[in-house]
């Protein structure tokens, strides 16, 4: 059998840090152990019924059995514009300021290939979503990492970046509410980001995947709500988290028309847009009954409250996340992130993600997903408590 070596592009791709963790979990599960898996970011609740029903109806439409328009159906882009006006009081031109994506992950990888050349620089949060690096690697560009530290509210400190890196940078990735730290951003921070980006001619990419999930009555801030955001960047949104549509693979980017045009161009060469019925269901999600979103956020907030309370009861002093469906938990002294995650898996059969898998600055933390019932989250805390660490 002939072996065909992979391209240099594939060789540059970062290793899948969590593959080893998945293998460990599968091994213990196959041995019959009851595993409480809080290590993933996959929503555990189903897509709301009215969205599913819209898909079923739309699938019968023979017009959708043909190729969709390459840049997406106008009705979905108009729905995106209506959504942004309703939720954030931001005006979006559906023709020039919206790109339909195969989930936000696709756009977050593609944008580096759209705007970066070999040797260019991109600024990345550390810790951060691993797939930012995937697109940068494909573009053969250079990452410069911005530490997200607890003492700074898990916001990057732009004063810590040197001018050479700022002048070289073409892209700056941000993500609030933040995965994995669960930190949130203010309008003031986004305003400062825009000033920095204008000064150094940097395109800002704001990953707004958890835009609907804010706690304690606080609605997460959209980057687009800051004056000048569309001049220097885009925001990417996914229906995966807001509407439990992770498997549907539908999202969108809004903002700077030149960047939107580039995203549409690369997708024109890669895809033939989304199945029309999925686009119609996405329109229903954005424009239909939004009480399902309020109920979902309330569910995550209750889970957060139970989990944090039970962890504190066993002596683990943990902060309550302000957004996302993650908790970013400090590792007790004497353990690395991986050592502690391994201990919880092997002795308590509770899966968490070691923080260093998201970047060097993630060392000293583990990420737990609020993606199990309140009862299972309480049980996870009890199992950890029986280890007698705290």
Whole-angstrom Cα distance, residue 261 to residue 79?
19
Is the alpha carbon torsion for 246, 249, 250, 255 positive or negative? positive
| pTM assigned to the model | 0.95
β strands within the chain, DSSP E: 36-37, 98-101, 121-126, 142-147, 169-175, 203-207, 233-238, 251-255, 326-330, 350-351, 353-354, 365-369
Tokens 């091994």 appear where?
27
Report the pLDDT value the prediction gives residue 289, as an integer from 0 to 100.
Answer: 93
Residues 332 and 343: beta-carbon distance below 8 Å: no
Q: What does the pLDDT profile of the chain (390 residues) look like in tens digits?
A: 999 999 999 999 888 777 777 888 888 888 888 989 999 888 989 999 999 999 999 999 999 999 999 999 999 999 999 999 999 999 999 999 999 999 999 999 999 999 999 999 999 999 999 999 999 999 999 999 999 999 999 999 999 999 999 999 999 999 999 999 999 999 999 999 999 999 999 999 999 999 999 999 999 999 999 999 999 999 999 999 999 999 999 999 999 999 999 999 999 999 888 999 999 999 999 999 999 999 999 999 999 999 999 999 999 999 999 999 999 999 999 999 999 999 999 999 999 999 999 999 999 999 999 999 999 999 999 999 999 898
Residues 163 and 121: beta-carbon distance below 8 Å: no
Q: Bridge-partner residues for 125, per DSSP?
A: 146
Whole-angstrom Cα distance, residue 263 to residue 165?
25
Residues 292 and 244: beta-carbon distance below 8 Å: no
Query: Domain ranges in the chain?
Result: 8-46+292-385, 65-287
Report the pLDDT value the prediction gives residue 19, as an integer from 0 to 100.
Answer: 75
Peptide bond into 178 cis (omega under 30): no
Q: What is the CATH number of domain 8-46+292-385?
A: 3.90.1150.10
* DSSP code of residue 352: -
Q: What is the CATH number of domain 65-287?
A: 3.40.640.10
Q: How far is CA 5 from the centre of its chain?
A: 32
| Residue 142 exposed, middle or buried by CB count within 10 Å (0-12, 13-18, 19+) | middle
Half-sphere exposure of 212 (CA within 13 A, CB side): 24
Closest CA to 357 of 168, 164, 133: 133
């Amino acid at each position: 059998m002939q072996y065909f070596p992979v391209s240099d592009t594939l060789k540059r791709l970062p290793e899948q840090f969590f593959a080893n963790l998945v293998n460990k979990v599968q091994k213990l599960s196959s041995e019959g152990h009851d595993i409480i898996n809080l290590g993933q970011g996959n929503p555990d609740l189903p897509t709301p019924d009215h969205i599913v029903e819209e898909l079923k109806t739309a699938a019968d439409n023979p017009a959708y059995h043909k190729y969709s328009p390459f840049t997406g159906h106008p009705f979905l882009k108009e729905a995106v514009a209506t959504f942004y006006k309703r939720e954030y009081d931001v005006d979006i031109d559906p023709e020039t300021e919206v790109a339909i994506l195969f989930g936000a992950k696709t756009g977050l990888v593609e944008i580096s290939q759209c705007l970066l050349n070999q040797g260019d620089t991109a600024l990345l949060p550390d810790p951060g979503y691993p797939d930012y690096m995937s697109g940068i690697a494909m573009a053969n560009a250079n990452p410069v990492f911005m530490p997200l530290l607890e003492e700074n509210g898990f916001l990057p400190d732009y004063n810590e970046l040197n001018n050479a890196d700022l002048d070289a940078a073409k892209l700056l990735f941000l993500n609030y509410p933040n995965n994995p730290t669960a930190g949130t951003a203010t309008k003031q921070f986004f305003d400062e980001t825009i000033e920095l980006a204008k000064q150094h001619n940097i395109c800002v990419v704001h990953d707004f995947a958890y835009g609907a999930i804010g706690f304690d009555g606080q609605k997460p801030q959209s980057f687009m709500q800051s004056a000048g955001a569309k001049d220097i960047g885009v925001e990417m949104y996914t229906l995966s988290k807001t509407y439990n549509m992770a498997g549907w693979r539908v999202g969108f980017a809004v903002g700077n028309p030149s960047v939107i045009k580039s995203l549409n161009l690369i997708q024109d060469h890669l895809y033939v847009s989304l199945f029309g019925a999925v686009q119609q269901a996405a329109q229903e999600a954005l424009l239909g009954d939004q009480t399902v979103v309020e109920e979902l956020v309330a569910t995550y907030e209750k889970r957060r409250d139970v989990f944090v309370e039970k962890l504190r009861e066993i002596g683990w002093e943990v902060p309550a996340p302000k957004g996302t469906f993650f908790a970013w938990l400090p590792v007790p002294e004497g353990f690395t992130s991986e050592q502690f995650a391994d201990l919880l898996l092997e002795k308590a059969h509770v899966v968490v993600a070691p923080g260093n898998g998201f970047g060097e600055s993630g060392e000293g933390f583990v990420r737990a997903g609020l993606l199990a019932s309140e009862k299972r989250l309480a049980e996870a805390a009890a199992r950890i408590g029986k280890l007698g660490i705290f």
